[in-house]
Each structure stands twice: as C-alpha cells, then as structure tokens.
A and B are shown apart, each in its own frame.
Chain A
C-alpha cells in the first residue's frame, strides 16, 4: 500500500436523534491539533437523516470540511449501513487517520470497518500524537490498565483509533470558523442492510445523568457498603451541586446503576473535584478517574492504592466523616 496517497484527519461524528455527541466534538478538538502538526485538513463525517443543519457546529468545533450523508437507512445507527457509508468514503477519499468515539456505537462500528477496509484499529486511546515519520502514535492502557502501550499502524491506511468519551478536550466553539459542507452520495447495498431490522428503541431512566459531564463527583466504593451509605453521598452531592458515581463493587452489588460506574469497564471522568469515599482504588478504577483535577480520598485503610493518586488523603471512616462534611458545607453555603 502506498501510504503517501493518504492524507487528512477524519472524524466520525456520532449523532443520536439528531444530537451531536459530545465525544465527536472532543475528537474534532484533538483532530485539529493533529492536522495542524501535519499541515493537513480535518474532515468530519456526519451520517444521519435530516442532519445537515448540524454541519456548521462541527466546523465551529474544528472541522475544515464536513461530508454529510443524508439517508433514511442512517436515521438510527445500525452496523451495516454505517459501515457501507464510511467504507465508500475511505476508498474514495483516502484518509490518513480516522478517529471514532468509543461509545457502544463506535465500538461496534470501528472493528467492522477495520476488517472491511483491512487496516488496524487501536481501541480506547488516551493519547494521540504525530511521530517523526508523520505516523500516528496511539497510546492506550494495556493489561487491565497496568501498563501503557504506544501502538503504530505502519503500512496500512487509514490509521484508525477509538477514543473514549471524556478523554480529549473540545475546542472552544468558534462560530466564525469557515468550512466546506459537502453532500455525499453513497451506493447502499440494501440486501445486506436488510439482514438486521430495528424493531424499536427503548429509553430507560438510568438516572439519565452522564457522570462524565459532572464538574464534581462524589464517588462511593465498597467502604460505603450499602444503599443507606450512598444516601450520605447523595446528601453531600446535593450541597456541592455534584453527581454521585461509584466503583465497580457497588454496581456489581446492585446498589447503583452501571451508568454511574467509573473505571475501565465504566466511564472515564475528569471532573474538577473527585471525592473518593471508601474506594480502595483498584487499577481499573484509577484508570477511569486519575485525570481528575483534584482528588480527595477517604478510606479506612491507610495503604489503599487510592491514596497514591489523591491530592488529599484522609484515613478514616466515610460514614462518620461525610455527614460532618455535609453539615459544615451546608453551614458555609447559607
């Protein structure tokens, strides 16, 4: 493969029901940085139905060009039509880099696409940089978050990576940015698309809060113990205008929904303040929160690994300290 024919940084910009997902804007911010280093363009891929009006938002977030594919088969995400659309774009446009958000959609689409166009895909990158030979250096946690590995995709294009929501930073949107919006036509293979049929989509109230958007998280672990213990976290969260999150232990115990789980198999968060209550700090948990701006940890075990990443570590009983802290803060806020 002649890799020199491939250029520009492409971003698959995920939308759901016409709403551009935050991760798409985060990826555009990173793509802008990479493209400036390479002196190339940022191209956004926007797939959906009646979606073109959103293209300008992608330009404001860093794109130079938006390829819009507007089609009934793209209204809701399904693997096959989305794979077909991007495959045709890749074969015609020859991107050097393609970035995809590591959501349930991106993690379904990315591998299918990589196998179809026969290139490499690096999952859940936490760092993306351009190397000396203009190659993409993709760094990700390996071995359950115990090690970091930098992956390259030397002889295949595009260089594909997925990035989890909350890892990269968005640009401040600039409504004055200029860019090109292109209507892109795809020759869909309807027969293949017809093998999977969407019957219905059901939304469940899972607390409906995206903890990766929260500025302050009060997070509970095994040391909090029970639903009753979590009530104390909720009281503190209410005073701080924060959200409650959790480690895996409490999700497995059925105390709190998976959507509020921080860590390797949950969400990656980087709030301004993360208060870890009774969380020992398994590597899988640390992987999801150690980028937080300021970390307060409260734990009975003074050797708990959470103290290695905490800015302030308190050795003590969360069940005693939290109510006092809530009271004190309440008094100050009044």
Chain B
C-alpha cells in the first residue's frame, strides 16, 4: 500500500499573544510546529506501515523552513519526504493550495492520501476535501479509525456530532484525520540522527503540471479585504473579596439582570 500524508507547518497559535496597547499580534518567538491534526494523520500512516508494510511519503507546501517538519516526519519513520516550495505558490487561498498539492500528488503513487482535518492557523478544514475533488477521489473526513482489507477496500469509522458512521470506501481515497484519534509517536533517537542525513526532495512549481492561473495568488478566488484586531468589549468590574461576599455580589448582579 502506498500512502501519502499532507502536512503543514503552522505557528503554535496557543503561544500567540496580543499586544494590549496596539491590539496587534506578537509574532516574535512564536514557535513553528507540525499541525496537530496532520501529526495525527502521520501517526495513522505509520500505524498502517507497521501493520501492512505500507510505504509512506510526506509532502508539505510552504516556505523553505518547512523542511523542519519533514525532518521530524523522517525521524518518526516515514520513507520519503517532499517539500513543495516556490514563490509562485505564495499567497494561495485554500482552493489554490489544493490545486498545487493535487498537482504534486498526481506525480506520487497513492492508494491512500491522508490530511489533517484542519490546520490551527486557518481552521478551515477545506484543503483535504478540495484535493480529493481535484483528483476525483472519494473522501471521508473526521476519520477516527481505518481498517484495510489488503486489497481495494477501506473500512472507516467517521466521527459525527451524534456518534459515528461506519463506511466502506474503495481505494484510492482521501481521508482527513482528527488528532485526538491518533496519539503521535515520538521521534526515535536513531531516527533523529538518521533524519538529518536523509534526502528531502525539493520540488518547485515546474514539477507540478498545473496552470499558473490555478495556483498562488492568481489562482485564489478569495482575498482578504481587511484584517483587524478583534474589538473586545470593555471589561466589567472585578472583585477580590472573600467567598461569602463574592456570592452576594454574584447573586445581586444576576437579580439586576433578571436572570434569577
């Protein structure tokens, strides 16, 4: 079985702070990490490798420094790593991103493509299903578990709001994965040492057969008209009092607001 996992390097948004004076983001010192859902997807791929002897490729599209997460993936145990990077791909929205990645994926053999459900910097959950559409593959999003019959069929458990669905899907297909379903393994020490000696293939836009008007900024139907800090309502009153008094304050405020 050939598996390709799409991963993304993202700023760790839990570490992002807002400058209270200017209301702008403080980006300095925010670490870059492998997107958590993608890491869950990578773990699924590696479990399938352990179980069925699958060949696992990881691909990321991004800036040259995204090589870091590919090294991490190599250290975790993947067989091949590809960095898709080119100025032409910059400024892409989800549709243009999915066009570029689909172009690359056409050049990589696959029975199963895995993406994370969503990236923590955009939270859109769009790129996976969009890639599936470009490649005319069936998709299952919100995957919690996957079994393979060794031939041509996957049996997949998909999370829903009410519980889950069991689906049978023909290979090749694309799935999007939830991080909590697959707790990622650690890099092994020998893996880390080895990872730095191994090749990360670097692909430019010339390696993918997608028209220029479908990638980058030119290929993006959506654009940002403006970005602004969130306006927070003024903070209310704060009381540092003993528990009895605190209860009194809460009760009187709730009465005032006719909540009780």
B257 vs chain A, min Cβ distance (A) = 5
Count residues of B near A (Cβ-Cβ below 8 Å): 77
Given contacts A111-B129, A314-B249, A325-B247, contact A149 B139 (CB under 8 A): no
A145: B residues at CB distance < 8 A = 13, 230
Task: Give the distance in Å from the alpha carbon of A311 to the alpha carbon of B224 in the complex.
Answer: 33
Task: Give the distance in Å from the alpha carbon of A158 to the alpha carbon of B221 in the complex.
Answer: 11
Contact, CB under 8 Å: B120 / A144: yes
> Interface size class for chain A?
35 or more
Contact, CB under 8 Å: B230 / A196: no
For A275-311 the 0/1 string (1 means CB < 8 A from B) is: 0000000111000001000111010001000011111
Contact, CB under 8 Å: A316 / B243: yes
Contact, CB under 8 Å: B236 / A147: no
Given contacts A114-B95, A122-B222, A324-B247, contact A146 B163 (CB under 8 A): no
Interface flag for A156 (CB, 8 Å): yes
Task: Give the distance in Å from the alpha carbon of A128 to the alpha carbon of B82 in the complex.
Answer: 39
Interface flag for B165 (CB, 8 Å): yes
Task: Give the distance in Å from the alpha carbon of A305 to the alpha carbon of B247 in the complex.
Answer: 21
- Stretch of B59-67, B166-174, B186-194 that contacts chain A: B166-174
How many A-B pairs have beta carbons closer than 8 Å: the answer is 249
Residue of A115, A200, A284, A296 near B166 (CB, 8 A) is A200
A27 vs chain B, min Cβ distance (A) = 17
B94, B162, B257 interface centre (most CB from chain A within 10 Å) = B162
Give the interface of A toward B (CB within 8 A).
16, 79-80, 103-104, 107-108, 110-112, 114-116, 118-124, 137, 141-156, 195-204, 206, 216, 240, 252, 258-259, 264-265, 272-273, 282-284, 290, 294-296, 298, 302, 307-317, 320-321, 324-325, 328-329, 332
Give the interface of B toward A (CB within 8 A).
11, 13-14, 16, 18, 25, 93-95, 98, 120-130, 132-134, 138-142, 155, 159-170, 173, 180, 220-230, 232-233, 235-244, 246-247, 249-251, 253-254, 257, 259-260
> Which 9 pairs from chain A and chain B are nearest by CB?
A144-B13, A120-B221, A120-B222, A115-B133, A111-B126, A204-B163, A311-B236, A111-B129, A313-B238
